[in-house]
Amino acid sequence: MRLLVSVAHADEVEAALAGGADIVDAKDPLRGALGAVSPSVLGAIARALGGRRPLSVALGDASESASLDGRVARAGAAAATYVKIGFMGIHDVRQVRSLAAAAIAGAGDSIGSPRVILVTYADRAGDDCVGVEEIIDASADVGAAGVLLDTAGKDAGTLWSFLSADAVAGWIERAHRAGLLAAVAGSLDVAGIRVVARLGADVAGVRGAACIGGRAGRVSAARVATLAACAREADSHRSTGAAFSASAAREKSPSELSS
């Protein structure tokens, strides 16, 4: 499993790399779960990264294709490997498909052709956005590269406040059956990183746990190193045959699963 660390400024890039981040993600945490950084900040992050790791770019929540095209193009120009797009406020999966298809077409036409990751929010699914399973179906239908399961409200609890480990395991399995990369975030801490790695996620995303001072703080190389070590330790357990199944998650809490 790869560890994605979100940075808000170019001066956080070196700490993320020194700690062992596998993917560096450009995101403004003050603007929400998928807050987009300004074009100038994105350019500075891309230059600081210098291609040493894949660059992911949060593009915010889509509402109409015209503005989305510009955001995708800027990410492509910054040599992004991935772009993340959410759909807060959109309940119609047909509209999600339409916007996602436009983003994928735009990505294919842009410099670098970044891979598109569609995002759903466990704490809002079915109320303010499409369901966690619907986003998988939509992603597969339009040819997205992967899906991200996240939370929109970072003060209302972690991912586990809204979904059980068993449910997350099933979501990852369904994404893999559809041929999609499965990424998981949602205020994950050390224990949460261990759990999602054992459940088979391809990528775990963090911001707050990687920072001194929380999401609005500053990325710490030492904190990133702790999280990276946990991800790789869990991978080691899986590679030696201690695979973690969905049935093993049933009736257990994330704290029990992290031990």
What pLDDT is stored for residue 65 in this prediction?
Answer: 73
Query: Does domain 2-257 correspond to CATH entry 3.20.20.380?
Result: yes
- Please give the model's pTM, rounded to 2 decimal places: 0.91
Strand partners, 86: 61
**Amino acid sitting at position 78:** A
Answer for the pair 217, 140: CB distance below 8 angstroms, yes or no.
no
Domain locations along the chain: 2-257
What pLDDT is stored for residue 238 in this prediction?
Answer: 62
With 60 as the cut, is the pLDDT of residue 249 above it? no
The values of phi and psi at residue 15, to 5°, are -65, -40
CA R_g for the chain: 17
Q: Each residue of 47-92: pLDDT tens digit?
A: 999 999 999 999 999 987 777 888 999 999 999 999 999 999 999 9
Q: Which residues are catalytic?
A: 27, 84
Closest CA to 148 of 158, 139, 160: 139
Closest CA to 78 of 176, 131, 142, 10: 10
Strand partners, 81: none
What pLDDT is stored for residue 119 in this prediction?
Answer: 97
What pLDDT is stored for residue 237 in this prediction?
Answer: 63
Closest CA to 171 of 232, 93, 119, 242: 119
Answer for the pair 193, 235: CB distance below 8 angstroms, yes or no.
no
